[in-house]
Amino acid sequence: MDQLRFDGRVAIVTGAGGGLGKEYALLLASRGAKVVVNDLGGGRDGSGRSNFADAVVKQIKDNGGVAVADYNSVVEGEKIVKTAMDNFGRVDMLINNAGILRDKSFGKMAEQDWDLIHAVHLKGAFKTTQAAWEIFRKQKYGRVVMTSSNSGIFGNFGQANYSAAKLGLVGLANTLAIEGAKYNVKVNTIVPTAASRLTEDILPPEMFKAMQPNLIAPVVAYMVHESFEDNGIIIDSALGFATKTHFVRGEGTPVRAKPEDAVTIESVKAKWPQVVDMSKAKHLDKNAEVTVDLVEKLQDFEERAKLDKGNKASYWSTYDYNAKDLTLYALGIGASVSNESDLKFLYESHENFSPLPTYFILPGMSMESPIVQQSMPPGKHADFTNILHGEQYIEFLGDLPGTEGEFTTRSYVAEVLDKGSAAVAIVNSEIYQNRNLVYRTQQHIFVLGQGGFGGPRNSSIATEVRPVPKRNPDAVVEQRTAEDQAALYRLSGDLNPLHIDPQVASISGHAKPILHGLASLGFSARHVLATFGGNDPANFKALKARFMKPVTPGQTLVTEMWREGSRVHFQTKTKETGNVVIGGAYVDLKQVSPVKANRVSASGLKSDGLFAKIIEEVNKNQAMAKSINGIFLYNITENGKTVKQWTLDLKTPAVYEGPLKEGKPDVTLTVTDGDLVEIASGALSPQVAYMKGKLKLAGNIMLAQKLGPLLKSEAKL
């Protein structure tokens, strides 16, 4: 790296007679800056006078540098700035470093101990920075560093005055960073821990010796360099380490149960665990983001309350999934590389990588939620020992969700039926993505032995199973489940020991652990999709099924299918017993026709700018581009969907948006918008991206390898 220089720049360093300030002054001067070496007091408490500044100036001059001493107090900061202007005609950098201590336990702290600390640290920084501010604005350049302290960030016994002043400086820097931004005036904060006049008899001697100011000075020097880009950040530095620190906010919570409730001290206390829960804390950059966040949460709170009107309370949960979850699930329900057309469910870099539609039943599962228990009539109870998953429905409202994403699920018990011996809770789930309802599911949860409460026997709102036609099935698919099918399927989330623990299975009356009903259903839905839906998940609209009997892993599933228009009725038997294990089931398919590609708005892609640069570079360096002699198609993805394509035709050469105008690409690269930008910036190596499946390559991979050096070049392809 070239030396970072400050030639032609003028720096003011306050409190530069010793310690950190002296190191700052020496370092900046050694790199070409003209330095105003300001120092006032000699003692840690601000008492006495010194000629320390002269000594520092002499040392700078002896080393061939340029500096001038200044003995003004920072509370008359305008005089310090005048020293700079009188001597050097400009100011570019200001390091507010002057400081003193007046430690006392709070009860004993004299008013003047408070006032003096606040004058030197806080008002001194205000006055000196303000005196330089108009100069910075006019010249559209300035670098300011405030000096804070971990005593402010964490508090420190005996430093009520100092901790208040030191964190006050962070508040000042926060506002100045905003006000200075458009004038290229950057205001940042250093939190140094160093051996200095302030710490010399506080730190243990060993530590004091190690905490050399010269280990911090280069950090601060970088923070006032022209090339420094951060603004309004806090950097903690000591012992040759540096660490950023900033505020984060928890998710927060309404402090009442419903929007129409009053907020009371009791409702606040009831919600307090969520108020102080920092497990999903995040940093926000601006106060405006707090407002937006709050307004969104308020809307959610009100909308969710509206949904609950007339129903039992909803249960809200979130669900994340990614490509690995989908492939693990696909193996769990018997997709196999031995069927070529299944590869797209098993290989995340496949050009048509897709979720199996029944995967999306999982985010709607609410067996673990308290709602079924809460819905029981008086005297009846439901817990994990007496509930069974009886029926399942799923219906997509539009396109199938992508290959990764996050859902928010609302589940509620719509109705509790009385089937005599058993109660049946009809649980509806609505699954949202980015606040849009994308699909819904319905479960019938049988609660054994809890019927007979005089409730309705039949439902008006449940989606019902349909009897299969009486004719012979139009198609039959057989597939053996593996001995380890349940052991594998359970890794998709349902860890109920009934499916793996022989002892638990035995207590529940089974000879062996049984396969999950949803696993058998997944097999059959796959059979239907492959037989009548072109094995294209985009054709899948809805599914309904009843679980009749358990399946033992290792048994062969026989899916019998009847097509009636766009509905495929099916039932599933185990070959070994002839029992119907899934009955009254159907899949509704969409029109069997070419499915439109799922496209979302591609505006605001970060990679757009990248390709703009590539176009520029290729135009400039046509020979280099041609030497690669390949045609590359980029699929830019977001949330698992291709949102834009770019063709990089290095044969012509030509670069344009959209697929290749004619012929086939040599290599297809599929990568998320974010990852591509990371690769181009060098933050992510293309090799690592490829190995991790973040960069997917199809076609002539060796040619992609040739693109490697280019990816790392200035051209950032």
Q: Which of residues 452-471 bind a copy of itself (CB under 8 A)?
A: none
Q: Which is nearer to a copy of itself, 328 or 602 (CB)?
A: 328
- The candidate with the shortest Cα–Cα distance to 36, out of 54, 63, 48, 49, is 54
Binding to a copy of itself by residue 257, rule CB under 8 A?
A: no
The reply on whether position 286 binds a copy of itself by CB under 8 A is yes
Q: Judged by CB under 8 A, which stretch of 93-101, 217-225, 468-476, 602-610 contacts a copy of itself?
A: 217-225
Applying CB under 8 A, which part among 53-61, 160-168, 388-396, 447-455 lies near a copy of itself?
160-168
Q: Is 292 in the site for a copy of itself (CB under 8 A)?
A: no
Beta strands 641-649 and 631-638, pairing class? antiparallel
- Taking the least distance from each CB to a copy of itself, the nearer of 298 and 600 is 298
Please give, one letter per residue, the 3-state secondary structure of 58-70.
HHHHHCCCEEEEE
7 binds a copy of itself, rule: CB under 8 A = no
Q: Is the dihedral of CA 41, 43, 48, 51 positive or negative?
A: negative
- Beta-carbon contacts of 202 under 8 Å, excluding residues fewer than 6 positions away, are none
Complete edge-to-edge strand list for the sheet that includes strand 556-564:
315-321, 405-418, 423-433, 436-447, 387-396, 540-547, 580-589, 567-574, 556-564, 475-480
Report in angstroms the alpha-carbon separations of 27 from 13, 22, 145, 225, 650: 11, 8, 15, 12, 49
Residue whose CB is less far from a copy of itself, 28 or 643: 28
**How far is it, in rounded angstroms, from Cα 411 to Cα 395?**
15
| Residues 585 and 562: beta-carbon distance below 8 Å | no
Stretch that binds a copy of itself, among 52-60, 246-254, 311-319, 636-644 (CB under 8 A): 246-254
Return the residues of window 323-362 that contact a copy of itself according to CB under 8 A: 324, 327-328, 331, 336-338, 343, 346-350
Residue 253: count other Cβ atoms within 10 Å of its Cβ: 16
Phi, psi of 554 (to 5 degrees): 105, -20
| Site map (CB under 8 A) of a copy of itself, residues 385-404, x = contact | x-------------------
Which of residues 260 and 662 has its CB atom nearest to a copy of itself in the complex? 260
Structure tokens at 380: 């009846």
Residues 165-184 that bind a copy of itself (CB under 8 A): 165-179
Structure tokens at 543: 């599914």
In this chain, which stretch among 51-59, 263-271, 392-400, 650-658 interacts with a copy of itself, using CB under 8 A? 263-271
Among 205, 247, 437, 651, binds a copy of itself (CB under 8 A): 247
556 touching a copy of itself, by CB under 8 A: no
Give the shortest CB-240-to-a copy of itself separation in angstroms: 5
For a copy of itself, the closer of residues 203 and 476 by Cβ is: 203
The only residue of 43, 63, 86, 134 in contact with a copy of itself, by rule CB under 8 A? 134
CB of 509 to a copy of itself, least distance (A): 13
159 binds a copy of itself (CB under 8 A): yes
CB of 616 to a copy of itself, least distance (A): 26
Stretch that binds a copy of itself, among 38-46, 212-220, 313-321, 425-433 (CB under 8 A): 212-220
Q: Does 126 bind a copy of itself (CB under 8 A)?
A: yes
484 binds a copy of itself (CB under 8 A): yes
Alpha-carbon distance 319 to 321, whole Å? 7
- Determine the interface stretch with a copy of itself among 123-131, 527-535, 591-599, 629-637 (rule: CB under 8 A): 123-131
Residue 663's CB is within 10 A of a number of other CB atoms, namely: 9
Binding to a copy of itself, residues 495-514 (CB under 8 A) = 495-497, 500-504, 507, 513
Choose, by CB under 8 A, the member of 33, 98, 215, 580 that binds a copy of itself.
Answer: 215
**Contact between residue 167 and residue 148 where contact means Cβ atoms under 8 Å apart:** yes
CA-based torsion, 306, 311, 315, 316: positive or negative: negative
Residue 163 burial (10 A CB sphere; 0-12, 13-18, 19+): buried
Task: Check residue 487 for interaction with a copy of itself (CB under 8 A).
Answer: yes
Q: Answer yes or no whether residue 122 interacts with a copy of itself by CB under 8 A.
A: yes
Using alpha carbons only, what angle is made at residue 489 by residues 488 and 495, rounded to the nearest 5 degrees?
A: 100
- The least distance separating a copy of itself from the CB of residue 459, rounded to whole angstroms, comes to 26
The sign of the torsion formed by the CA atoms of 328, 334, 337, 343 equals negative
In whole angstroms, the minimum distance from the beta carbon of 12 to a copy of itself comes to 17
Please choose, out of 131-139, 470-478, 555-563, 613-621, the segment that lies near a copy of itself by the rule CB under 8 A: 131-139
Angle at 29 between CA 26 and CA 33, to 5 degrees: 145
User: Does residue 192 belong to the site contacting a copy of itself (CB under 8 A)?
Assistant: no
Which residue's entry shows tokens 């002699």? 629
Residues 632-691 that bind a copy of itself (CB under 8 A): 683, 685, 687-688, 690-691
- Interface with a copy of itself, residue 625, by CB under 8 A: no
Instruction: Give the residue among 156, 185, 150 at the shortest CA–CA distance from 170.
Output: 150
**CA 695 to chain CA mean position, Å:** 19
Q: Interacting stretch for a copy of itself, rule CB under 8 A, among 489-497, 568-576, 582-590, 639-647?
A: 489-497
* Residue 55 in contact with a copy of itself, rule: CB under 8 A: no
Q: Is 644 helix (H, G, I), strand (E, B) or coil?
A: strand
Q: Which is nearer to a copy of itself, 314 or 571 (CB)?
A: 314
Query: Hey, CA dihedral for 206, 208, 211, 214, is it positive or negative?
Result: negative
Q: Which residues are catalytic?
A: 162
703 Cα distance to chain centroid: 34
According to DSSP, the residues that pair with 664 across neighbouring strands are: none
CB of 671 to a copy of itself, least distance (A): 14
Q: Give the nearer residue to a copy of itself in terms of CB position, either 150 or 459.
A: 150
Among 250, 452, 455, 534, binds a copy of itself (CB under 8 A): 250
**Count, residues near a copy of itself per rule CB under 8 A:** 162
In the chain, the amino acid numbered 152 is G
Contacts of 514 (CB under 8 A, 6+ apart): 486, 498, 499, 505, 550, 551, 552, 553
Instruction: End-to-end CA distance of the chain: give it in Å, rounded.
Output: 24
Is the peptide bond prior to 653 cis by the omega test (within 30 degrees of 0)? yes
The nearer residue to a copy of itself, 115 or 478, going by C-beta atoms, is: 115
Residues 6+ apart with CB under 8 A from 151: 159, 162, 163, 166
Q: Out of 63, 200, 384, 448, which residue is the one contacting a copy of itself (CB under 8 A)?
A: 384
Looking at 43, 49, 105, 622, which residue binds a copy of itself (CB under 8 A)?
105
Least distance (Å) between residue 113 CB and a copy of itself: 10
Extract the tokens encoding 210.
Answer: 């190690």
Judge contact between 345 and 356, C-beta under 8 A: yes
Smallest gap, in angstroms, from Cβ of residue 139 to a copy of itself? 13
309 binds a copy of itself (CB under 8 A): no
Query: For residues 87 and 705, which CB has a smaller minimum distance to a copy of itself in the complex?
Result: 705
The two tokens of residue 33 are: 């800056």
- Does position 123 interact with a copy of itself (CB under 8 A)? The reply is yes
Q: Do 87 and 93 contact (CB within 8 A), yes or no?
A: no
Q: Single out the residue of 704, 573, 580, 572 nearest to residue 650, CA to CA.
A: 704
Which of 7, 62, 201, 266 forms a contact with a copy of itself (CB under 8 A)? 266
Is 528 an interacting residue with respect to a copy of itself (CB under 8 A)?
no
Q: Is 219 in the site for a copy of itself (CB under 8 A)?
A: yes
- Give least dist CB 247 to a copy of itself, A: 6
